[in-house]
Structure 1
Amino acid sequence: MELPDEDDALDLDRQVCFPLYAASNLLNRLYRPILAELGLTYPQYLVMLVLWKQTPQTVGSLGDMLHLDSGTVTPLLKRMESAGLIVRTRDPQDERRVLIELTHVGCDLRAKAMHVPLRLSEGLDIDPASVALLREQVRELVAALNHASHLKS
């Protein structure tokens, strides 16, 4: 079999998606044991981060912020409600909307989660300025991908 040339668009090393995919998988592996101590999965942690910043949120706003559809968000929220972290109620001003609010248990979990970012970064030899630049570049990529996906739908 002939080796592809250096300009091969299908060369794994030329893909943007692969390092993002690999980084996401590896980050999830690092988060898993830390979040397990809090009784959270990574998607639940993301929901909690949103709610710790501002509550209540609607199911739709959570889905938008986390780039998840309601078919993914709803079962996630049901499990979090069963765990006593959140409550789901109908919006009295618009019965079609479901409001998500933290319980006392969910609020109290924030103090226990304060160590998560530090614990995650332990042992990573990455300059904080480089991390900040990367975060900004990835945010720009997410915005561009989100825009493109809305154009195609």
Structure 2
Amino acid sequence: MSGRPIPQVRAPRKIALPDDGRPERDAADAQRLDNQLCFAVYAAAHAFGRAYRSLLGHHDLTYPQYLVLLVLWEEDGLTVKEIGTRLFLDSGTLTPLLKRLEASGRVRRARDRVDERQVSIFLTEGGQALREELACIPDRAGGMTGFDLEGRRALLDHLVNLRAGLHDGAGT
């Protein structure tokens, strides 16, 4: 853990609603950093990154590598494309990450014999063994949020809906 202080986050200002139900906001209020949902999600993602860095550092894993392992623990032998789809990552981001996991002895890559363009990823014994070793990570990370289990599940539902809404609305 670094010696840098953790910045304090101020609660967003409450927005007054007039009688007609429309938010009474001027342009300056709408553009306040503390009122930006996107910034709150962005900052929370960075905070998660720092938390996972401390949790996974002992195992010489990055958070994206951990996510790959989570996917493979669910279903081993997926193609690079399938893993990328699950993690919302392109192959240009995923390939170097997989090469590092392979170099560390956690996965092995194998080209499909029929279509050599397809590369499947398989866990090694070392990658399988990490599953039990890292089983405590979700609870430890979840405990760092300050939410109880019910609150974490509700937040997860909201974030999944947020992601789906943004994905669906991206084409408009």
- Count of aligned pairs between the two proteins: 147
Unaligned runs of 5+ in 2: 1-23
> Which of 82, 86, 96 matches 1:75?
96
Instruction: Provide the residue aligned with 1:41 in structure 2.
Output: 62
Secondary structure, in 3 states, of the residue corresponding to 1:96? coil
CA contact (8 A) 1:38 1:112 kept: no
Instruction: Provide the residue aligned with 1:7 in structure 2.
Output: 26
Instruction: Provide the residue aligned with 1:84 in structure 2.
Output: 105
Determine which structure has more spread, i.e. the larger CA radius of gyration.
2
- In the alignment, the residues of structure 2 paired with residue 86 and residue 42 of structure 1 have an alpha-carbon distance, to the nearest angstrom, of 16
The 1:29–1:118 alpha-carbon spacing in structure 2 relative to 1, beyond 3 Å, is same
Deviates more, 1:124-133 or 1:74-83: 124-133
User: Which letter does structure 2 place at the counterpart of 1:38?
Assistant: H
Does 1:25 find its partner at 2:41? no
- In the alignment, the residues of structure 1 paired with residue 113 and residue 32 of structure 2 have an alpha-carbon distance, to the nearest angstrom, of 54
Secondary structure, in 3 states, of the residue corresponding to 1:108? helix
- In the alignment, the residues of structure 2 paired with residue 58 and residue 134 of structure 1 have an alpha-carbon distance, to the nearest angstrom, of 30
- In the alignment, the residues of structure 2 paired with residue 123 and residue 78 of structure 1 have an alpha-carbon distance, to the nearest angstrom, of 31
* Higher percent of residues as helix: 1
User: Percent identity over the alignment?
Assistant: 43
- In the alignment, the residues of structure 1 paired with residue 48 and residue 144 of structure 2 have an alpha-carbon distance, to the nearest angstrom, of 13
Instruction: Provide the residue aligned with 2:130 in structure 1.
Output: 109
1:11-69 Cα distance to aligned partner (Å, 9 max, x none): 22332111101111111111111101121100000000000110111111111111111
Does 1:132 find its partner at 2:147? no
CA contact (8 A) 1:58 1:97 kept: yes
| TM-score (norm. length: structure 1) | 0.87
* Higher percent of residues as strand: 1
1:88-139 Cα distance to aligned partner (Å, 9 max, x none): 1111232221100101110011110011122223454312212111101111
Q: Which has the higher contact order (CA 8 A, sep 6+)?
A: 1
